[in-house]
Amino acid sequence: MYIMEEYDLIIVGGGCAGYPAAVYASRFNLKTLVIAKEKGGLITTTHLVENYPGFVSLSGQELADNLEAHVKANNVPIENDIVKSIEKEGKYFIVKTDLLEKEYKTKTVILATGTKHRHLDAPGEKEFSGKGVSYCATCDGMFFRNKVVGIVGGSDSAAKEAMVLAQNSSKVYMFIRTYLKAEPINADRIRQNPKIEIIEGVQVKEICGDNLVTHVVLDNGKKVDLSGVFIAIGMLPQNDLANSLGVELDKKGEVVIDRLSRTNVEGVFAAGDNTNSEWKQGIVASAEGSVAAYSAYEHIQRNF
Element (H, E) at 142: none
pLDDT at residue number 139: 84
140 is known as an active-site residue: yes
Domains contained in the chain, CATH given: 5-116+235-303 (3.50.50.60), 119-231 (3.50.50.60)
Q: What values do phi and psi take at 35, rounded to 5?
A: -115, 115
Options 16, 65, 81, 136, the catalytic residue: 136
Q: What values do phi and psi take at 297, rounded to 5?
A: -60, -45
Which one is predicted more confidently, 42 or 247? Answer: 247
pLDDT band at residue 1, thresholds of 50, 70 and 90?
Answer: very low
What value does the CA radius of gyration of the chain take, rounded to a whole number of Å?
21
Which one is predicted more confidently, 49 or 200? Answer: 200
Options 16, 98, 121, 139, the catalytic residue: 139
> Hey, which bits of 162-264 come out as E strands?
171-176, 196-200, 204-209, 213-218, 223-225, 228-231, 235-237
CA angle 133, 46, 63 (to 5 degrees): 150
208 is known as an active-site residue: no
50 CB neighbour count, 10 Å cutoff: 12
Residues 178-221: tens digit of each pLDDT: 999 999 999 999 999 999 999 999 999 999 999 999 999 999 99
Residue 242 has pLDDT above 60, yes or no: yes
Options 8, 16, 140, 273, the catalytic residue: 140
pTM listed for this prediction: 0.88
81 is known as an active-site residue: no
